[in-house]
Structure 1
Amino acid sequence: MMTGMNTETCDLAELAVLREVFASRPEAAAPAGWEAVRSFEAEHGIVLPEPYRTFVAEICDGLRAGPPYYGLLPLAQTPADWGSHRPERLLAKPFPLTAAWLWEAEGDEEELSQQEFEARTDPVFDDGSLLLGTDGCGMYWHLIVTGPQRGHVWQIAGEGAMPFGSQSPDALMPGTPGFTGWVTHWAEGRSWFADA
């Protein structure tokens, strides 16, 4: 399990990095403001993790051109390809994972009925996370807002779910964990995956 992040208090150094990355992006949307952030939190029964919370309120609420590939979503939106068949998103319910789960590698899709498979994987897509955006082809980036992984960014796709940002030599997506680490990794033009 990844730990060590302060998700309750906004680190001014992290906020300065985020301001610098987004200051040069003319396609960045205006910040949502504190009233909109607090309203969103009250509606969903959560408090957004820092520094994302302050970032959305004071710096930027969406970006048309990355991160991820199809842009950073505004606070209350889902990607156009998210689909209307998805269950209701339950942000206050804890995100169920603490380690990568590549269900495609386990063969779970073939062994279970579609209903059984969705009962196991739907919480990974819909509980305790905020959608940051998509890289297309069903690859979504989530900011975990509830549970032990609060503040971490995960990529969740049809093949499985994996956290971004690990210092482990065998990490699938090495880097600095958290929203600022994810944004910085993108701004530096680095590949998300260790073997790419």
Structure 2
Amino acid sequence: MKKSINSLQGIYERLDLYDESSERSNTARHSFGNNVFIVHGRDDESRYKVALFVKELGLNNIILDRQPDEGIIAILDKFEREAKKADFAIALLTPDDVGALKNEAETQLNSRPRQNVVFELGYFISALGRQKVCLLIKGEIENPSDLDGILYKRIDGDEWKLKVARDMQKAGLPVDLNDVR
């Protein structure tokens, strides 16, 4: 597993993750953008897998911790600045945390996505609209109840790639389905 993560990380680090010349404000957003914000927790393997997939489609990744801080700013300021560049968002809901209802805490801890992932997912649903946000779920997790009924894809195999590419294409991103591997 560690070898796979290191291999994916090596490939990922050699990619041009974001072309600064394509920056624009939210008001200048157009239907054929190519910037995909990847919301993630601590599952590096899944993050690198999705980043590589997005890059193979000819799109730009926006991964918050890979973007420059531009001085001493609050993380929320950095998030808002980078989120404005996004034309589409992929949220990785991976089993990174555990939790339970207060009265069940000692007997039944459930795997959950990180709190930042849930927060950023809500932000993008509001900012971009549900049609431009894709949920990828790995493993068995307890979804936030507000997400009940929302369609998602499982990232446990490779079937998700074509499904996500179709969603991106339908959302107006310049995706060629022949590039899906």
TM-score, shorter chain, exceeding 0.5: no
Taking structure 2 as the reference length, what is the TM-score of the superposition? 0.29
Structure that is richer in helix per residue: 2
